[in-house]
Amino acid sequence: MRHWRPLLLVLSVVLLHPPATARSACAQTLFLNEILAAPARDWDDSGAFSSRDDEWVEVVHRGAAPLDLSAFLITDSDSIPRYRLSGTLAPNAVHLVTGRMSYDWERANGQPAFGLSLGNTGDSVLLWQITASDTVLVDAYAYRAHEAAADRSVGRAIDAPHGWQLFDSLNPYTGTVLPAGNGCAPTPGAINTCGLTPAPSSSWGRLKALYR
Query: C-alpha distances in angstroms, 121 versus 50, 89, 142, 147?
Result: 18, 31, 11, 9
Please tell me the predicted confidence (pLDDT) of residue 161: 61
Q: What is the pLDDT of residue 128?
A: 97
Which one-letter DSSP state was computed for residue 146?
A: G
Distance CA(8)–CA(113), nearest Å, equals: 16
Residues in the chain: 212
| Interstrand relation of 81-84 and 67-68 (parallel, antiparallel or unpaired) | unpaired
The residue ranges of the chain whose pLDDT is under 70 are 1-26, 159-162, 195-212
The pLDDT value given to residue 18: 33
pLDDT of residue 17: 35
By the 10 Å C-beta count (0-12 exposed, 13-18 middle, 19+ buried), 170 is classed as: middle
According to the model, what pLDDT value does residue 199 have?
Answer: 36
Q: How, if at all, do strands 72-76 and 122-131 pair?
A: antiparallel
What is the predicted pLDDT for the residue at 119?
A: 96
What residue segments make up the domains of the chain, in order of their start?
A: 2-210
Q: State residue 132's pLDDT score.
A: 80
pLDDT recorded at residue 33 = 96
The CA-atom distances, in angstroms, between 73 and each of 13, 84, 150, 177, 211 are 16, 4, 25, 30, 58
pLDDT at 28: 85
Cα–Cα distance, 174 to 3 (Å, whole number): 46
Taking only the tens place, the pLDDT of each residue in 110-121 is 999 999 999 999
